[in-house]
């Protein structure tokens, strides 16, 4: 059976109202200071940055977003009986919300739907933490040990979970088709997966609005909007 690996980046979720980071309207271009809010050392050492981070999370569209046609098309491909694995750089949980089984989604950069204590590693829901912020706690501490709480995402300066990365690598090497969707393919080590897939003989398809460093390796590059081009591509895959 053909194994299809889909690496998804911020571009797959922009139709759901979540801005990307590096595009023309991206978060980093509009507010260069925003990067500090998701930089581990700055976050851990500066209570003012943590307070700004919590305010940003409370105002973030991520938790209110719903899956779009691209997320649903991926889940439909999986339901059709095709072997599909999603490797996502996103932290929004929209692949799972669209119906993709959680065990078939690898979240390289963690999830914004949970919080984790940097000291004791206790986890709880982001909703619960944001309720505490709304009630007046500007920098809510861990209820278990009093440590610093952060979103369960991989911040700048943090390592990816080696187990998740190893699984992503294994899927990349084993797949016959590798689609990179909505990713600039600039953030390592996620970006390198496209090259590894091509080296191992997979058909590499890149769907992204702007050029990526891996376009020359691709069997096909699609510049059309993801919301319409991805469902059509996946339908073609299932038909084939």
Q: Which residues are catalytic?
A: 109
- Residue 203: in which H helix or E strand, if any? strand 203-207
Q: Give the E-state strand segments of 53-102 in sequence order.
A: 83-88
Cα torsion through 14, 189, 230, 17, rounded to 10: -10
Cα torsion through 124, 126, 127, 132, rounded to 10: 80
Name which of 24, 56, 31, 71 is nearest 231 in CA terms: 71
Q: Give the E-state strand segments of 19-142 in sequence order.
A: 83-88, 105-107, 110-117, 123-125
Determine the Cα–Cα distance for residues 134 and 57; give it in Å rounded to an integer. 11
Edge-to-edge strand ranges of the sheet holding 83-88? 105-107, 83-88, 3-8, 177-181, 203-207, 220-222
| Angle, helices 162-174/192-199, rounded to nearest 10 degrees | 40
Determine the Cα–Cα distance for residues 94 and 89; give it in Å rounded to an integer. 12
Determine the Cα–Cα distance for residues 75 and 185; give it in Å rounded to an integer. 23
Dihedral angle sign, alpha carbons of residues 57, 60, 64, 68: negative
Q: Which residue has the tokens 């809510």?
A: 140
């Amino acid at each position: 059976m053909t194994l299809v690996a889909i690496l998804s980046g911020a571009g797959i979720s922009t139709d759901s109202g979540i801005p990307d980071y590096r595009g023309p309207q991206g978060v980093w271009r509009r507010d260069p200071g925003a990067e500090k809010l998701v930089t581990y050392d700055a976050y851990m050492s500066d209570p003012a940055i943590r307070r700004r981070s919590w305010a940003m999370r409370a105002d973030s569209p991520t938790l209110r977003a719903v899956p779009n046609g691209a997320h649903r098309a991926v889940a439909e491909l999986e339901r059709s009986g095709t072997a599909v694995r999603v490797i996502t750089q996103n932290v929004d949980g929209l692949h799972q919300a669209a119906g993709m089984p959680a065990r078939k989604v690898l979240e390289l950069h963690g999830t914004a739907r949970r919080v984790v204590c940097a000291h004791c590693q206790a986890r709880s829901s982001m909703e619960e933490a944001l309720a505490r912020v709304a009630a007046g706690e500007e920098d809510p501490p861990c209820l278990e040990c009093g440590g610093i709480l952060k979103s369960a995402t991989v911040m700048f300066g943090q390592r990816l979970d080696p187990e998740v990365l190893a699984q992503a690598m294994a899927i990349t090497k084993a797949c016959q088709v590798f689609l990179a969707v909505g990713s600039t393919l600039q953030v390592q080590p996620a970006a390198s997966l496209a090259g590894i897939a091509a080296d191992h003989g997979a058909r590499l398809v890149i769907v992204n609005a702007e050029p990526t460093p891996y376009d020359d390796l691709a069997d096909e590059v699609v510049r059309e909007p993801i919301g319409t081009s991805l469902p059509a591509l996946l339908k073609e895959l299932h038909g084939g």
